[in-house]
């Protein structure tokens, strides 16, 4: 799952914990977001971070001056526990004068992320095969209409060259190619074009 950008606030023993969720696609983008957030909130006591990318293949966290393991780690644990991906959580703490102790910090930082996720609009992400489909002009008009009507196809671009080429992603390449062969009497030429990250409707 991934979360759209959102900010929520919790207060624990007079300290404000403001969690901001960002959608991020790469490690570099996450680092840029963190740098920008810390610059914008330079007056905060701490700006602690956790992010997960690529279905958990990349997961990083930072305590930003809090005792080791009391901020970034519980934040990351919440993201993983909720099956989040492609999301960055930054919890900005404004110290209220009361020390929370290690256990209190663990609960406060993890709780701030949980609270933000409870308020977020979540969407499902999937990795679909990407294809390039070429047909003659005589077939292109009707095929384009059919492609746009399918929920399991994302039509990305139409290129008008010697033949009409459709750049698309589909949920199941084998089933799609069988359907395509039936619609075009086998006249379509299909090339593998890699993969595409696709956002699916919320359920």
What CATH number is attached to the domain comprising 133? 3.30.70.240
Structure-token pair, residue 95:
């110290």
> Using CB atoms within 10 A of its CB, is residue 159 exposed (0-12), middle (13-18) or buried (19+)?
exposed
What's the pLDDT score for residue 123? 83
Mean pLDDT of all residues belonging to the chain:
93
Pick from 75, 99, 120: which residue ends a domain?
A: 120
* Pair (134, 113) in one structural domain: no
What's the pLDDT score for residue 122? 83
pLDDT grade for 28, boundaries at 50, 70 and 90: very high
Residue found under tokens 């919790």: 10
What's the pLDDT score for residue 1? 55
* Pair (15, 110) in one structural domain: yes
Structure-token pair, residue 16:
């404000």
What's the pLDDT score for residue 3? 55
* Pair (85, 172) in one structural domain: no
Residue 159 pLDDT greater than 90, yes or no: yes
Q: Can you list the positions of beta strands (E) in the chain? A: 2-3, 6-12, 15-23, 46-53, 58-62, 87-94, 122-135, 153-160, 164-170, 189-200
* Pair (182, 86) in one structural domain: no
Residue 202 gets which letter from DSSP?
P
What's the number of domains the chain is made of? 2
Query: How many alpha carbons lie under 13 Å from residue 82 in its C-beta half-sphere?
Result: 28
pLDDT grade for 199, boundaries at 50, 70 and 90: confident
Pick from 72, 89, 120: which residue ends a domain?
A: 120
User: What is the Cα–Cα distance from 118 to 112, expressed in whole angstroms?
Assistant: 10
* Pair (141, 101) in one structural domain: no
* Pair (54, 71) in one structural domain: yes
* Pair (116, 189) in one structural domain: no
Residue found under tokens 């393991």: 69
* Pair (74, 142) in one structural domain: no
Question: Measuring CA to CA, which residue among 188, 152, 154, 189 is closest to residue 168?
Answer: 154
Residue 140 pLDDT greater than 70, yes or no: yes
* Span 139-155, average pLDDT: 95
Report the DSSP beta bridge partners of residue 61: 50
What's the pLDDT score for residue 110? 97
* Span 188-197, average pLDDT: 94
What's the pLDDT score for residue 202? 61
pLDDT grade for 125, boundaries at 50, 70 and 90: confident
Residue found under tokens 């910090």: 105
The pTM score is: 0.74
Pick from 120, 140, 170: which residue ends a domain?
A: 120
Alpha helix locations (H) across 41-187? 72-81, 101-119, 137-149, 173-184
The domain of 129 spans 124-200
* Pair (143, 44) in one structural domain: no
What's the pLDDT score for residue 62? 96
* Pair (111, 149) in one structural domain: no
What's the pLDDT score for residue 6? 86
pLDDT digits (tens, 9 = 90+) for 39-95: 999 999 999 999 999 888 999 999 999 999 999 999 999 999 999 999 999 999 999
């Amino acid at each position: 799952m991934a979360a759209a950008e959102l900010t929520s606030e919790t207060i624990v023993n007079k300290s404000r914990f403001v969690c901001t969720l960002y959608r991020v696609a790469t490690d570099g983008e996450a680092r840029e977001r963190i740098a920008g957030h810390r610059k914008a909130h330079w007056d905060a006591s701490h700006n602690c971070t956790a992010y997960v990318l690529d279905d958990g293949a990349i997961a990083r966290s930072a305590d930003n001056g809090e005792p080791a393991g009391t901020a970034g780690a519980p934040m990351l644990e919440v993201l993983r526990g909720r099956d989040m991906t492609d999301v960055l959580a930054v919890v900005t703490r404004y110290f209220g004068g009361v020390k929370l102790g290690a256990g209190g910090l663990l609960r406060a930082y993890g709780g701030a992320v949980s609270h933000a996720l409870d308020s977020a609009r979540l969407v499902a992400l999937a990795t679909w095969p990407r294809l390039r489909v070429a047909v003659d002009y005589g077939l292109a008009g009707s095929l384009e209409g059919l492609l746009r009507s399918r929920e399991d196809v994302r039509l990305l671009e139409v290129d008008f060259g010697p033949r009409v080429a459709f750049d698309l992603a589909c949920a199941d390449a084998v089933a799609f190619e069988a359907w395509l062969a039936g619609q075009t009497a086998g006249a379509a030429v299909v090339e593998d074009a890699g993969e595409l990250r696709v956002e699916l409707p919320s359920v």
